[in-house]
Amino acid sequence: MDIKLAWRNVWRNRRRSVIIISAIAIGLAGVVVYEALTVGMTTQMVENIVGTSLGDIEIHHRGFQESKTLELAIDNPEQVLRLVRGTEHVSAAAPRVRAQGLVSSARASAGVQILGVDPTAEPAVSTIAHSLVRGRFLAAADEYAIYLGEALAKKLKVGLGRKVVLMAKGLAPGMASNAFRVVGTFQTASPNFDKMTVYIPLAAAQSLLSLEGKISEIAVRIDRQRSLEQVAATLRTKLAPNEYEVLTWKELVPNLVQMTQLWEEWVYLFAFVIYIAMVFGVTNTMLMVISERTRELGIMLALGTRPLRIFRMILIESALMGLVSVALGSAASFGVVWWLSLQGLDLGWFVRGLSFLGLSRIIYPVLTPSILLISGLSALVATVLAAIWPAWRAVRLEPVEAIRDA
């Protein structure tokens, strides 16, 4: 009975109810879309950086991450790889050699990061093979092939099939060099990475750097991000802690973690402002309702209606408006997110200064059930809480004065 009566009261002033319901729905939709875009942005950033050149977890000889010296190489990679690949939640692991060098063509030269990779294992731990622009990725049969950033290829003025010379300081005395033939170029979300990174076969890197049978690191991919710390802890117990270091991507790129946390805080702040606006809007609306119904409420109290019932009825009215608003806002936000997931949101004007973080120009929102559920419940709770003060004022009315003043 109270619900039916409250529903009728909501639509007594249809225009006012439509306005406040629309305002709440628009606010909720804004929160959901903004949060979905933020989740999509941070997810893409993490995948662009972690998936391109790192891995969910990296394993080095202890001290390598800090010094980057080739003397701290892993000299028993096959044994370590077997241990890593046999760990629960590890989906793939690949050996790498990482070093600094100089690449030169007949027309130009550039300092580069050299990544020696296993052509068959690397595609399982990184997305670099899928960032192809021209040609192909490295193949198992390649001996002296090189896969470099499209921006670097343009700087060197080389095309597919052309040769470049790669120089680096290995374990042997003096500089080592060799000629490599360009088999493909790539383009990632990070222009800086494209300008200074080259990939060569693992065996060629070991030969160039005098690292026969040794590697710099092992890149690890896991099957789910929520197991990241668990897998890292397991690997640390499996591997000798005084010989190896196991680092998650969060430890490798802490500035990325800080950036994602900052954006999450902005989402919370934005949502807080919207919900506060909802509270004020609903409170003012319900106070107007109480003012218009002063005589009616006074008569109800005079006839013996319990104050608790009136209090409950006003809260139910607010809750019903909140439910309608949540339904409309959720539907609207779902539609907007669905459209953006097809079209993407071009943030080219925004990402220029953040390209070093791997932020893509086109952002695709990620909407999870938890975003809809938490945002919807928060909006509903806000509308109910907003009605507490007006409801309290209603039950504090003196029946005789309320009837006379009205």
pLDDT digits (tens, 9 = 90+) for 21-47: 888 899 899 999 999 988 888 888 888
352 pLDDT higher than 60: no
- Of 148, 177, 170, nearest in space to 214 by CA: 170
Per-residue pLDDT tens for 41-84? 888 888 888 888 888 999 998 888 888 888 888 888 898 899 99
Per-residue pLDDT, 227: 86
The answer on pLDDT for 405 being more than 70 is no
Q: Please give the backbone phi and psi of residue 47, each rounded to the nearest 5 degrees, phi first.
A: -65, -40
Query: What pLDDT was estimated at residue 163?
Result: 92
**Is residue 294 within 8 Å of 391, Cβ to Cβ?**
no
Across the range 313-341, mean pLDDT stands at: 89
| pLDDT at residue 213 in the model | 86
94-135 pLDDT, tens per residue? Answer: 999 999 999 998 888 899 999 999 999 999 999 898 889 999
Q: Give pLDDT tens digits for 6-18.
A: 677 667 778 887 8
| Three-class SS of the chain | CHHHHHHHHHCCCHHHHHHHHHHHHHHHHHHHHHHHHHHHHHHHHHHHHHHHHHCCEEEEECCHHHHCCCCCCECCHHHHHHHHHCCCCEEEEEEEEEEEEEEECCCCEEEEEEEEECCCCHHHCCCHHHHEEEECCCCCCCCCEEEEEHHHHHHHCCCCCCEEEEEEECCCCCEEEEEEEEEEEECCCCHHHHHCEEEEEHHHHHHHCCCCCCECEEEEEECCHHHHHHHHHHHHHHCCCCCEEEEEHHHHCHHHHHHHHHHHHHHHHHHHHHHHHHHHHHHHHHHHHHHHCHHHHHHHHHCCCCHHHHHHHHHHHHHHHHHHHHHHHHHHHHHHHHHHHHHCEECHHHHHHHHHHCCCCEECCCCCHHHHHHHHHHHHHHHHHHCHHHHHHHHCCCHHHHHHHC
Mean pLDDT of 150-155: 92
- Tell me the per-residue pLDDT of 369-403, one tens digit each, with 9 for 90 and over: 899 999 999 999 988 888 888 878 776 666 656 56
Structure tokens at 145: 């092939």
Gap between the Cα atoms of 250 and 266, Å rounded: 20
Rg of the chain (C-alpha set): 31
pLDDT per residue over 197-246, tens digit each?
999 999 999 999 988 889 999 999 998 888 889 999 999 988 877 888 99
Q: Mind listing the pLDDT tens digit for each residue in 356-373?
A: 555 667 778 888 889 999
User: What residues does each domain of the chain span?
Assistant: 2-49+256-405, 63-240
